[in-house]
Amino acid sequence: MKSSFLVTPAENQPGASIDGDAAEQPSRRNFLKGSAALMVAPLLPASAKSRTSDEDAVAVAAVPASPPTVPWQEFLPDVIGVLDANPLDPSPTGTANIAGGEAGRPSHQRWNEFAARAEPYELHAAQRENWVFSPSYPAQPVWTYQAKEPDLSILSPVVFAHYGHPVLCRIYNDLPANHVGFGSPEISTHLHNLHCGSESDGFPGDYYSATKAGPTLTSPGGFRDHLYSNIYAGYDELQNGIGDYREALGTLFYHDHTTDFTAPNIVRGLVGFYCLFDELDSGDERDPNPSALRLPSHPYDYPLSFSDRRFDADGMLYYDQVNPDGVLGDKVVVNGKIEPVLRVARRKYRLRLLNAGPSRFYQFYLVRPNNVIQPFTYIANDGNLLERPLLNQTFVRLGVAERGDIVVDFSRYPRGTELYLVNRLTHVADDTRRPDRVVAPGVRVLKIVVDREPPEQDLSQVPSFLRPLRPLPSTAELAALPVRRWVFERRQNMWAINGQFLDINVPRAQIPLGGMEIWELASVDNGWDHPIHIHFEEGRILSKTTDGRNVVIPAHERGRKDVFVVNGRTTIRVLLRFRDYKGKYVMHCHNLIHEDHSMMLRWDIV
Partner 1 sequence: MNTRRKLLAGMGVGVAALGVAALQRGSDAPQAIVRSSAGTKNFPNVTLYTHEGQPVKFYDDLIRGKLVTFNMMYAQCERTCPVSTANLRLVQKMLGERVGRDVFMYSISLQPEMDTPQRLREYVARHHIEPGWLFLTGARADIDLVRYRLGFYDPDPLVDFNDANHTGMLRVGNDALDRWTMAPTLTAPEQILSTINHVDMAMAHTAHREPSVV
Which residues of this protein are in contact with Cu ion, per CB under 5 A?
Answer: 530, 589, 591, 594
What phi and psi values does residue 573 have, to the nearest 5 degrees? -95, 125
Work out the number of other CB atoms within 10 angstroms of the CB of residue 458: 17
Question: Which positions from 231 through 290 interact with partner 1, judged by CB under 8 A?
Answer: 259-261
Whose Cβ is closer to partner 1: residue 291's or residue 505's?
505
Does 493 engage in binding with partner 1 (CB under 8 A)? yes
Query: 544 with 550: CB under 8 angstroms?
Result: yes
Task: Cite the DSSP H helix spans in 269-425.
Answer: none
Is 26 a binding residue for partner 1 by CB under 8 A? The answer is yes
Q: Minimal CA–CA distance to 248: which of 228, 275, 227, 278?
A: 278
Under rule CB under 8 A, residue 468 binds partner 1: no
Convert 490-501 into a string of H (helix), E (strand) and C (coil). Answer: EECCEEEECCEC
Residues 197-226 that bind partner 1 (CB under 8 A): 205, 211-216, 219-220
48 binds partner 1 (CB under 8 A): yes
Q: How far apart are CA 369 and CA 327, in angstroms?
A: 31
DSSP 8-state symbol, 170: E
Specify the stretch interacting with partner 1 by CB under 8 A; choose among 133-141, 356-364, 486-494, 569-577: 486-494
With CB under 8 A as the contact rule, which of the stretches 45-53, 155-163, 237-245, 391-399 interacts with partner 1?
45-53
The binder of 135, among partner 1, Cu ion, none, by C-beta within 5 to 8 A per type, is none
Residues 142-201 that bind partner 1 (CB under 8 A): 177-184, 186
490/558 with CB nearer partner 1? 490
Q: From Cu ion, partner 1, none, which one binds at residue 591 (CB under 5 to 8 Å depending on kind)? A: Cu ion
Work out how close the CB of 126 gets to partner 1 at its nearest, in angstroms, rounded to a whole number.
18
Is residue 584 near partner 1 by the rule CB under 8 A? no
Query: Got the DSSP string for 446-501?
Result: EEEEEEE--SS-------S---PPPPPPPHHHHHTS-EEEEEEEEETTEEEETTB-
In terms of CB distance, is 460 or 591 closer to partner 1? 591
Stretch that binds partner 1, among 16-24, 63-71, 513-521, 545-553 (CB under 8 A): 16-24
- Nearest CB to Cu ion, comparing residues 393 and 598: 598
Question: Could you give the CA distance from residue 380 to residue 305 in angstroms, rounded to a whole number?
Answer: 15
Q: Which does 409 bind (CB under 5 to 8 A by kind): Cu ion, partner 1, none?
A: none
The residue (of 37 and 553) whose beta carbon lies closer to partner 1 is 37
CB atoms within 10 A of CB 223: 25
Select 15 or 290, whichever has its Cβ closest to partner 1: 15
Nearer to partner 1, 308 or 451 (CB): 308
- Shortest reach from residue 236's CB to partner 1, in Å: 32
573 vs 594, beta carbon nearer Cu ion: 594
Q: Which H, E and C letters describe 500-549, residue by residue?
A: ECCCCCCCCEEECCCEEEEEEEEECCCCCCEEEEECCCCEEEEEEEECCE
d(CA 402, CA 346): 28
For 320, residues 6+ apart whose C-beta sits below 8 A from its C-beta are: 45, 46, 63, 182, 326, 327
Q: How far is CA 63 from the centre of its chain?
A: 24
Specify the stretch interacting with partner 1 by CB under 8 A; choose among 29-37, 142-150, 336-344, 473-481.
Answer: 29-37
Site mask for partner 1 (CB under 8 A), range 79-118, x = bound: ----------------------------------------
538 contributes a contact to partner 1 by CB under 8 A: no
Q: How many CB atoms lie within 10 A of CB 53?
A: 6
Give the other-Cβ count within 10 Å of 470's Cβ: 13
Among 162, 186, 164, 142, which residue's Cα sits nearest to residue 85?
Answer: 162
589 binds, among partner 1, Cu ion, none (CB under 5 to 8 A by kind): Cu ion
**54 makes contact with partner 1 (CB under 8 A):** yes
Q: Which of 181, 176, 238 is nearest to 212 (CA)?
A: 176
Beta bridge partners of 550: 545
Partner interacting with residue 594 (select from Cu ion, partner 1, none; CB below 5-8 Å by kind): Cu ion
Q: Taking the chain, what is the end-to-end CA distance rounded to the nearest angstrom?
A: 50
CB 321 within 8 A of CB 291: no
Residue 53 binds partner 1 (CB under 8 A): no
Residue 504: contacted member of Cu ion, partner 1, none (CB under 5 to 8 Å, by partner type)? partner 1
What's the Cα-to-Cα distance from 70 to each of 78, 137, 177, 339, rounded to whole Å? 21, 10, 35, 8
Interaction between residue 18 and partner 1 (CB under 8 A): yes
- Smallest CA-to-CA distance from 378 within 399, 401, 417, 350 is with 350
Q: Least distance from C-beta 181 to partner 1, angstroms?
A: 5
216 binds, among Cu ion, partner 1, none (CB under 5 to 8 A by kind): partner 1
Q: Does 20 bind partner 1 (CB under 8 A)?
A: yes
Task: Please say which residue, 447 or 588, places its beta carbon nearer to Cu ion.
Answer: 588
- Asked if 491 is part of the footprint of partner 1 (rule: CB under 8 A), the reply reads yes
Among 190, 268, 337, 433, binds partner 1 (CB under 8 A): 433
* Residue 43 in the binding site for partner 1 (CB under 8 A): yes
Looking at the Cβ atoms of 320 and 520, the one nearer to partner 1 is: 320
CB burial of residue 201 (10 Å; 0-12, 13-18, 19+) = buried
Our CB check for Cu ion shows the closer of 186 and 529 to be 529
Residue number, 102 or 186, with CB nearest to partner 1:
186
Tell the smallest beta-carbon distance from residue 587 to partner 1 (Å). 16
| 597 is a contact residue toward partner 1 (CB under 8 A) | yes
